[in-house]
Chains A and B, each alone.
Chain A
Amino acid sequence: MRTLRQRLPEWLTPWALVAFLGGLGALYVAPLVLGTGAYLHNLMGLTFMFVAGALAWNWVGGYVGQISFGHAAMFGVGGFVSARILLATGMPFVVGWIVGGLVAGLFALLWGHPTLRLRGPYFAIATIGVGEATRLIMTYWEPFTGGASGVSLPIQGGVNKYSLYWYGLYFMAAAVAVSYYLRKSRIGLGLLAIKSDVEAAGDVGVSATYYQDLMLFLSGTFVGIAGAFYASYFSFIEPGDMFGFQRSISFVLMTVIGGIGTILGPALGAVIFVILQEFLIASYPELYLGMYGGLIILIILFEPLGLSGLLVRIARRAGYRPRGQVAGGGVGSAAAGGPAATSEAETTPHMVEEKT
């Protein structure tokens, strides 16, 4: 074990690596071992995509601390760019996904770089504007998005729905790995400094603009890939759904309900979101807006850290004491937000703006 720890980069603990590989392996073989039916199998694949998307949203919402109500814009851009590329060329679909993602990432950078100068609610509302403007313009741009009729992807070129499970799994694994790296590495330290006091951070050499842009680009790219996945999964996309406000809301919902600023949070939130969508909405379709709204209200009032925060509180009552610092340069302390809060720190929810 000692040789392993020495060989790993300072931000990666052996435990984390083991947990990651273990989880990945388990999910990899699960369908083969458990013999899940087609419905559950496909649903899980879709869930993996949502987890990745929620984690990516969190890079801006939680790590940078700016709530975006407009992520559907990247979701849609990724989806349509990927769909168009796959239709026009015979490229393997993964390439289409990545290209779609990168275009979405650049798009995020385009509108996000100037608007990230805004603080808090102003940025949030600007994102509503961006999302809606994108939707309107894209719906109007029929040659690209097909207008109300949308774009259909013939099922071809190796994208059979069965294998999407594993592609979704890799995608989610990548998002988890990136989330972990961003939080534990020196980038995570810098992000926390920016959240604490953006000016003081600048006075010590941390360029807020650079890191915000980086987060925006990464977030946009991954959410774009999610959109591309979605397109391949359903073989049909239309702008109202892809760019819609509902779509943007879903990212906010997943992460807030699960817990902003953590890794477990968005994952939990995404799973719950899918469950709610599939089962409750099938039974009570006329109540789902109210349920989401009610859930958000309850979370904000009683447990701003989301469900993952609730779980941590329960775990602490049961005696679980979080591990202390990671040796060396990693960000091990509680202040990184989320589950492992030390007793010294006030559990300030990461949604709380610490900038003045």
Chain B
Amino acid sequence: MTALVEGRGVSKHFGGLKAVDDVDFHLDEGEILGLIGPNGAGKTTLFSVAASSMPPTAGEILLDGEVVSGHPPHHAVRKGICRTHQIVRPFTNLTVRENVLVGRHYGTKLSQRRGHDDAKDTDELLEFVRLTPRAQALPGSLTLAGRKRVELARALATQPRVLLLDEVIAGLNPTEAQMLVGLIREIRDRGVSIIMIEHVMHAVMGVSDRVMVLDHGQKIAEGSPTEVAHNPQVIEAYLGKDEVALPPTEQEQA
């Protein structure tokens, strides 16, 4: 069975800098894939390529076997991949509800919307992310948690098959974080496959089915959360070589 999303040999170079270097990955239908790695590993860049925010320098991204990379971003959205941003970017001149409406109007193909009431669906989404009381507010008047939920609802409004979440949990207090994790599970249960970048370890390890680790633009590990957590290369990437307590070698022991 082919994966829902497939990245083949994806590279993204900025001049001399190899932000993403020949990465292969896949996402199966109904999966939550965690994407972790130290700062500067290239995670957001990989997202940007996957969502068509920028074209890859090499390689391609396929959705359901169809190439989506190399097209303008709105093309990918119509096909069913939508992303949120690491630094939240709601439309500041539109109300919360209008933000979601934009996703609804523009992120979906007409055929997907036929027979649906846009207003009703938008209200449902607002209810889902618990933003109904703030529907008429401007994003500027919301907390960070609120604004993240606006972006989330807006992305969901595009009726994606694949949702790319870029650090949605970072910066939230434990209660908010827990709520968001719950939402993410619910989103997956509704049939949306998810790739999430996250630094909040317990969150991403707790909710992901599989985890992929990037460091310096390259994939260094992939597997279940437990496997990855115990992978020495991963530990080294996060903590640095000197910090890793290696067991003494035979010579030293003797």
Contacts and interface: CB of A to CB of B under 8 A. Distances in A.
Given A200-B89, A204-B107, A206-B106, A329 B101 contact: yes
B103 A205 contact: yes
Contact of B103 (A204, A337, A345): A204
Contacts of B98: 189, 192, 331, 333, 335
**Interface range for B:** 35 or more
A205 B107 contact: yes
Nearest to A197: B89
A298 to B, nearest CB: 26
A333 B102 contact: no
Contacts of A345: 93, 138
B227 interface: no
Contacts of B118: 328-329
A205 B92 contact: no
B154 A192 contact: no
Contact of B102 (A190, A199, A348): A190
Interface string B108-131: 100000000011000000000000
Nearest to A335: B93
B83 interface: yes
Interface stretch (B26-34, B72-80, B191-199, B208-216): B72-80
B109 to A, nearest CB: 9
A301 to B, nearest CB: 23
B85 interface: yes
A335 B94 CA distance: 6
A204 B53 contact: no
A207 B119 contact: no
Task: With a 10 A CB-CB cut-off, give which of B98, B101, B154 has the most chain A CB atoms.
Answer: B98
Contacts of B136: 324-325, 333
Nearest to B48: A203
Size range of the chain A interface in the assembly: 20 to 34
Given A197-B89, A202-B74, A324-B136, A333 B94 contact: yes
B72 A202 contact: yes
B89 to A, nearest CB: 4
Interface string B23-56: 0000000000000000000000000000101000
Contacts of A333: 94-95, 98, 136
A193 B83 contact: no
B74 A196 contact: no
A189 B105 contact: yes
A186 to B, nearest CB: 4
B158 interface: yes
A125 to B, nearest CB: 26
Contacts of B77: 203-205
Interface in A160-218: 186, 189-190, 192-193, 195-197, 199-207, 209
B108 A205 contact: yes
A329 B108 CA distance: 15
A71 to B, nearest CB: 25
Nearest to A206: B106
B155 A204 contact: yes
A354 interface: yes
Contacts of B51: 203
From A196, A200, A201, A325, residue with most partner B Cβ within 10 Å: A200
B173 to A, nearest CB: 25
29 contacts: A189-B94, A189-B98, A190-B102, A192-B91, A192-B94, A193-B91, A193-B106, A197-B89, A197-B91, A199-B89, A200-B90, A200-B91, A202-B72, A203-B83, A204-B82, A204-B103, A204-B107, A204-B154, A204-B155, A204-B158, A205-B78, A205-B82, A206-B74, A207-B74, A325-B95, A328-B118, A328-B119, A333-B95, A335-B94
Interface of B: 51, 53, 72-74, 77-78, 82-83, 85, 89-95, 97-98, 101-103, 105-108, 118-119, 136-138, 141, 154-155, 157-158
Interface of A: 186, 189-190, 192-193, 195-197, 199-207, 209, 324-325, 327-329, 331, 333, 335, 337, 344-345, 348, 354
Given A203-B73, A325-B97, A335-B93, 12 more contacts: A186-B105, A193-B106, A196-B92, A197-B92, A204-B155, A205-B158, A206-B102, A207-B72, A333-B136, A335-B95, A344-B137, A345-B93
